[in-house]
Amino acid sequence: MFFAKFSDRLIELPSYPRGDFQKLYNLSKAGLLTCPVCGRPVILQFRISSPPEFIHTDQSGSEACVNAYIPSKPLKPDHQETSSGGFRMPKNKPVSDSDASTVWRNPDFPGLIAPFTQKEDPLITLFDDVTLNQAQHAAVTSEAASTLVLAGAGSGKTRVLTSRAAYLIQEKGADPASIMLITFTVKAAKEMKERMSSLYGLSPQQVNRMVTGTFHGIFYRILTHHDRSRWDSKHLLKEWQREQYVKQAGRELKLDETEFPFDQALQQIGLWKNSRLSPADIKCADKWEEKASFLYKRYEEFKEANGQFDFDDMLLQCLLLLEHNDEIREMYQKRFASILIDEFQDINQVQYEMIQLLSERRQSVFAVGDDDQSIYAFRGSNPAFLLQFTKDFPGAKVIHLASNYRSSHEIVATANKMIAKNRERHKKRMDATFTNGVKPLFFYPYDEEEEATLIVNDLKEKMLNGRRPEDFAILYRTHTGGRAIFERLSESSIPYAIDQETGSFYERKMVRTPLAYLRLAVNPDDGQAMKDLVFALFLKSQVLQDVKALSIMNDCTLLEALIHIKDIKPFQQKKIKDILPYFQRIRTMAPLDALLVIEKKMGLADTIKKRGNEGNKIEKGSDDLQDLKVAAKKFSTIKELLEHADHMTALSADLKRNGRNQANGVRLMTIHRSKGLEFPYVYVLGAVDGSIPHDFSLESARNGEFAAFEEERRLLYVAMTRAQYELYLSAPQTRRGKKSAPSRFFQAIEQ
């Protein structure tokens, strides 16, 4: 039914503001809504699969109430906003044309899927207990000097790699010590070694004689073997030392440590090094890169002066060693008869040149990868190396593993249509090995908050039907994209696990800053909030001590003491005088209204512009503020919002400190972190323009550069192909408070 009663007000869903359905849901959960006909409690049923409706909480039928109900004017005729029990309710209003794009939109699948056809692909026994399909067998037994295996998602690449190593040893009589097996994670190397010992009849001695590990692990061992004292691990820079060096260089440019994104600069330095660009080679594209290149130059000088090295030097310096020492290079070229490489699409310039150098005599490279899953450009990875493989390794054989054993036909066919639009890729198509008749579901919540509510309710419904929490994964583009779902799961009884790479959303600089204004409005003596306000007002950090002293001398609050500061510029004094009255005014406002005043009237917009890391391509200070506004909408008072922020911060710190049992809960992670994993059921959040594809890639595409845009499409492809049986893609109708459009990548699926 579409009606309910709150206090003395009548609520009718057809005329109720769409953006406030989440508030209605919260009211119903609190037991504050009743049926205007029978007076029994009702709840707003929020499901992915059907439009919202009120139902009686005792699950009894509502047909009699629906039939007895006669639409009427609201019981409160003035339609004004009312407050009851701490809730502020907006007035009912008809849905206008301007609201048309945000009315409830039923979930759908926007395209067509060809019928499933089971392909004949007889299995071939290679060893006693190991069977391979024809393409896998052709790859494992390839006689070509070099082989490129295009292994799509779920096609059994690990089986092919381990079988190839075992085949070389058992069938070709290769010395295990002549085989190098390179993986991208230590975990993957360990799993492959265990598989070879347990499935292929290789002895532990044979497996251990193989040179197995990550690029960094293997080539660092080469460095230490030839110069142990120079490359002793005690000389490896720790993360805090790296930050110390770039900040020391930054002081030479008078860069503000609280303003300049030094973490981003370190990432850029790593990208340059992995692309084999020295400080002298860099052609700066803008002012920011000019600063970063200076930091790079000084960082390298500091490091060299102290006889230290960083993680990237493990590869770069090993490459230089092999290039400049003929004897050492020839020794390793003779030793390694076969080089096997996993995740070849993620290789960078230095790694690629290393492989070319080591295989120069024999061209003996067996590379397994998928250019459609290349998603690490920010680390220097480039699918071009995979695309040019046959050019750089003449006579190489290319084998395509086209059978996907992971995902249903419906998921594979949808992902195929989407990724086929990328221009820089090997033309290929994956074929599923099974069907379950369940098409991917596209759904359209109002915003991020409603998106989280719908998913949590869907999880509960599925778990009641016997599915386990660990069967589910929820994926998002950036860390902040997981804020709402993390909060909603924290409020539920559903066990969950989050890959904790960063701190709480509410600890981010451009979230903590507006919260500081709110904290001081509630408590003018909040010392930590005053520290953040000093930052926002562009005052020197020493001013904080002056404020504390002035507070004592003038017997006033810290906030009132700001007016007594003398040693600042006139425009700063005027700024303080102008904003102080607003703290009293915003104290009783709804949090969202208060944030708007802080942004527009109290100078926060200027702070974000100058100190909000707006040069960061992925995460900007202004985006953080918009995310905070979305979070603030569901709270009626500033106190409620602040208590929530503190609770989430404490919970996040606890998870980071103590970890979480990741085997027994719903998994929350970025799409990048999900690569290589699989789950029966996957939800992808925020599949809208600006998120996937990200804003920065759209801007690049508008300027004629499509590399970032195509990587965003690959990122969505990776997310989709993590799902085995059911896939849900969410396209909120508003994002960060503004109307949004479903990802343009969906257009390929609609055709």
Distance CA 45, CA 104 (A): 13
Distance CA 528, CA 200 (A): 61
pLDDT tens for 317-373 read 999 999 999 999 999 999 999 999 999 999 999 999 999 999 988 878 999 999 999
Of all helices (H) and strands (E), which one includes residue 10?
Answer: strand 9-12
Q: What is the pLDDT of residue 713?
A: 96
- Angle (CA) 710-713-718 rounded to 5° is 125
Residue whose tokens read 């005014």: 585
Residue 663 confidence (pLDDT) above 50: yes
Q: What residues does 148 pair with on adjacent strands? A: 367, 398
| Axis crossing angle, helix 591-600 with helix 604-611, rounded to the nearest 10 | 70
Among candidate residues 454, 471, 492, 453, the one with its CA nearest the CA of residue 49: 454
Among candidate residues 653, 651, 650, 644, the one with its CA nearest the CA of residue 515: 644
Where are the domain boundaries for CATH 3.40.50.300 in the chain? 124-229+315-405, 432-500+660-750
Give the residue with greater pLDDT, 716 vs 696. Answer: 716
Distance CA 345, CA 427 (A): 15
In sequence order, which residues have a C-beta less than 8 Å from that of residue 649 and are 6 or more positions away?
503, 504, 506, 507
Q: What is the pLDDT of residue 286?
A: 81
Q: What is the pLDDT of residue 80?
A: 44
Q: How far is CA 579 from CA 514, 544, 603, in A?
A: 13, 17, 8
pLDDT tens for 9-53 read 899 988 888 888 998 999 999 999 999 888 899 999 999 999 999
CATH-assigned architecture of domain 124-229+315-405: 3-Layer(aba) Sandwich (3.40)
Where are the domain boundaries for CATH 1.10.486.10 in the chain? 506-644
Question: 130 near 199, Cβ under 8 Å?
Answer: yes
Question: Which of the 8 DSSP states describes residue 92?
Answer: P
Question: Which of the 8 DSSP states describes residue 309?
Answer: B
Q: Map residue 730 onto helix, strand or coil.
A: strand
Decide: residue 626, CB within 10 A, 0-12 exposed, 13-18 middle, 19+ buried. Answer: middle
HEC assignment per residue over 105-147: EEEECCCCCCCCCCCCCCCEEEECCEEECHHHHHHHCCCCCCE
Distance CA 654, CA 647 (A): 11
Q: What share of the chain in percent tops pLDDT 90?
A: 63
Residues constituting the chain:
751
Order of strands across the sheet with 3-6?
A: 9-12, 3-6, 33-34
The two tokens of residue 217 are 């692990």
Question: 531 near 558, Cβ under 8 Å?
Answer: no
Q: What is the pLDDT of residue 100?
A: 46
Instruction: Quote the pTM value.
Output: 0.88
Q: What is the pLDDT of residue 90?
A: 53
- Domain spanning 237-308: which CATH class is it, in words? mainly alpha
Confidence grade of residue 398 (pLDDT, cut at 50, 70, 90): very high
Distance CA 728, CA 723 (A): 9
Q: What is the pLDDT of residue 382?
A: 84
Confidence grade of residue 83 (pLDDT, cut at 50, 70, 90): very low
The dihedrals phi and psi of 83, each to the nearest 5 degrees, come to: -130, 135
Distance CA 700, CA 348 (A): 22
- Most confident option among 116-130, 219-233, 560-574: 219-233
Measure the CA dihedral 503/507/510/512, to 10°: 180
User: 169: how many CB neighbours lie within 10 A of its CB?
Assistant: 24
Q: What residues does 183 pair with on adjacent strands? A: 214
Q: What is the pLDDT of residue 412?
A: 97
**DSSP one-letter string for 624-674:** HHHHHHHHHTT-SSHHHHHHHHHHHHHHHHHHHHH---TTSSEEEEEHHHH
Where are the domain boundaries for CATH 1.10.10.160 in the chain? 237-308
- Rounded to whole angstroms, the maximal C-alpha distance in the chain is 94
Q: How far is CA 162 from CA 158, 165, 516, 649, 677, in A?
A: 6, 5, 55, 44, 18
Q: Map residue 491 onto helix, strand or coil.
A: coil
Q: What is the pLDDT of residue 72?
A: 57
Contacts 24+ apart (CB under 8 A), 126-133: 126/163, 126/167, 127/163, 127/166, 127/170, 127/199, 127/200, 127/201, 128/201, 129/199, 130/159, 130/163, 130/166, 130/199, 130/200, 132/156, 132/159, 132/160, 132/163, 133/403
Pairing of strands 403-404, 42-45: unpaired
**DSSP one-letter string for 554-573:** TT--HHHHGGG--SS-HHHH
pLDDT tens for 585-605 read 999 999 999 999 999 999 888
Q: What share of the chain in percent tops pLDDT 70?
A: 92
In sequence order, which residues have a C-beta less than 8 Å from that of residue 31 and are 6 or more positions away?
41, 57
Q: What is the pLDDT of residue 537?
A: 86
In sequence order, which residues have a C-beta less than 8 Å from that of residue 576 and are 6 or more positions away?
537, 562, 563, 565
Question: 162 near 193, Cβ under 8 Å?
Answer: no
Distance CA 454, CA 442 (A): 13
Contacts 24+ apart (CB under 8 A), 106-112: 106/50, 106/51, 107/48, 107/49, 107/441, 107/442, 107/443, 107/444, 108/441, 108/442, 109/439, 109/440, 109/441, 109/442, 110/442, 110/746, 110/749, 110/750, 111/414, 111/417, 111/749, 111/750, 111/751
pLDDT tens for 401-435 read 999 999 999 999 999 999 999 998 988 889 999 99
Among candidate residues 738, 747, 726, the one with its CA nearest the CA of residue 455: 726
Question: 509 near 260, Cβ under 8 Å?
Answer: no
Q: Which CATH superfamily is domain 432-500+660-750 in?
A: P-loop containing nucleotide triphosphate hydrolases (3.40.50.300)
Please give the average per-residue pLDDT across 613-630, as a whole number: 72
Q: What is the pLDDT of residue 751?
A: 74
Distance CA 277, CA 349 (A): 10
Q: What is the pLDDT of residue 510?
A: 86
Please give the average per-residue pLDDT across 599-628, as a whole number: 75
Q: Map residue 696 onto helix, strand or coil.
A: helix
Please give the average per-residue pLDDT across 700-720, as a whole number: 93
Q: What is the pLDDT of residue 185?
A: 87
Give the residue with greater pLDDT, 720 vs 626. Answer: 720
pLDDT tens for 245-283 read 999 999 999 887 766 878 889 989 999 999 999 999 999
Preceding omega of 693 cis (within 30 degrees of 0)? yes
The one-letter amino acid at 597: V
Q: What is the pLDDT of residue 82?
A: 47
Average model confidence (pLDDT) across the chain? 88
506-644 has which fold? Answer: PCRA; domain 4 (1.10.486)
Decide: residue 604, CB within 10 A, 0-12 exposed, 13-18 middle, 19+ buried. Answer: buried
Confidence grade of residue 571 (pLDDT, cut at 50, 70, 90): confident
Residue whose tokens read 């005329």: 15
Residue whose tokens read 């010392």: 527
Pairing of strands 42-45, 53-56: antiparallel
Please give the average per-residue pLDDT across 618-634, as a whole number: 82
Please give the average per-residue pLDDT across 154-171, as a whole number: 92
Residue 633 confidence (pLDDT) above 50: yes
Residue 77 confidence (pLDDT) above 50: no
pLDDT tens for 454-481 read 999 999 999 999 999 999 999 999 888 9
Q: What is the pLDDT of residue 378?
A: 80
Q: What is the pLDDT of residue 258?
A: 65
pLDDT tens for 471-524 read 999 999 988 899 999 999 998 989 998 876 666 889 888 899 999 999 999 999
